[in-house]
Amino acid sequence: MKSWFAPSVALATISLSSIAAPALALSISYSDAYVPDASTVTTLNTIDGFTGGLTDAEARNGLYGFTDIEDVLSIQKFDPSLGTLKSAKLTFDTGLWQKAYYEHLGRLRPGNVASIKFDFEANLNLTSSGGTSVFDIPLTGAHDFTASSFDGGRDFAGTSGRKFSTSLNGQYQQTKTITDAAALAGFIGTGSIDYTFSASALFSVFGPGNLSAGVLTLAKGALRVEYEYEKESTSVPEPTALLGLGLVAGGAMVQRRLRAAAPRN
């Protein structure tokens, strides 16, 4: 009688336990921006007519308004159904557009010039609804010029006048990231959080007794919040459990094939 040897198959212990995959790191953001008054363009046209074209494309891009500004910017709170909030990053994007001009209208003795000195200061600020300063950008600058006797053209140009961008003119950004659990609690829930964007400016000029001078100051502001949060991933079977199931299935298949091939006595 011929016997057949059926190879043994080692079967792994099956475990039906599962493991949780690492939490997913995700982010979502919201923003709000200051919207200038509808009359801004009309006023800029008047100023351009008076100064012979003081403004430019940047001043007219629809983002800048006349200082002083006080406007509410709102950002949406984090929806806790999305996951667990880990941080809130606030970004304050702001800018100041400032140009000044002068024309010396008087007469000077031959060889003399008139000294003209400008001083500027401005402040770009964002405060919470409770009045706490969140971002603060103070700006200062000074410019000195000399001018001749009136050159006959009240155009803020030539030897007796000028139009110029001040040193305060520029784009500014500040950021702040909140990770403290107690502070983050204020960002969680429904509705929005309100902040106040403010922009103010002052200037002074010192010069001769016959001087026409001025300044145009515009500002813009936007606030963005980026929420970083974690979301629990769906549980998956342990790799050892999957391996065990595979060995069981494979072993059973081998045994069935061997039994089918063995001759009957």
pTM for the full model?
A: 0.79
Are 48 and 169 members of one domain? Answer: yes
What average pLDDT does range 45-74 have in this prediction?
97
Are 102 and 228 in a shared domain? yes
Window from 70-74, 171-175, 212-216, 231-235 with minimum mean pLDDT: 231-235
Q: Are strands 84-104 and 161-165 parallel, antiparallel or unpaired?
A: antiparallel
Does one domain contain both 159 and 214?
yes
**Do the beta carbons of residue 230 and residue 25 sit within 8 Å?**
yes
* Mean pLDDT on 84-112: 97
Average pLDDT over residues 18-28: 78
* Domains of the chain: total: 2
Asked if residue 180 and residue 123 are part of one domain, the reply reads yes
Pair (178, 62) in one structural domain:
yes
Looking at residue 19, its pLDDT comes to 57
pLDDT(253) > 60? no
User: Same domain for 13 and 140?
Assistant: no
Q: 103-132 pLDDT, tens per residue?
A: 999 999 999 999 999 999 999 999 999 999
> Domain range holding 243?
1-21+237-265
User: Is it the case that residue 14 has pLDDT exceeding 60?
Assistant: no
| In a shared domain, residues 55 and 121 | yes
Q: What percent of the chain has pLDDT over 70?
A: 80
- Any alpha helices (H) in 119-265, and if so which ranges? 181-184, 239-261
Q: Are residues 253 and 219 in the same domain?
A: no
**Reduced to 3 states, what is the DSSP secondary structure of residue 50?**
helix
Q: Which residue has the tokens 């391996």?
A: 243
Q: Is the domain of 147 the same as that of 40?
A: yes
Instruction: Among 17-31, 54-68, 163-177, 220-234, name the one with the lowest average pLDDT.
Output: 17-31
Average pLDDT in the 65-93 region? 98
Please name which of 114, 23, 126 lies closest in space to residue 71, comparing C-alpha atoms.
Answer: 126
Same domain, 146 and 255: no
- The residue ranking higher by pLDDT, 254 or 139, is 139
pLDDT at 58 over 90: yes
For residue 23, CA distances in Å to 75, 139, 231, 257 come to 26, 44, 5, 45
Whether residues 146 and 265 fall in one domain:
no
Are the beta carbons of 45 and 147 closer than 8 angstroms?
no
Q: What is the mean pLDDT of residues 124-144?
A: 97
Q: Are residues 110 and 5 in the same domain?
A: no
Q: Quick check: 16 pLDDT over 50?
A: no
State the Cα–Cα distance between residues 121 and 95, nearest whole angstrom: 14
pLDDT tens across 200-242, in order? 999 999 999 999 999 999 999 999 999 999 998 765 555 554 4
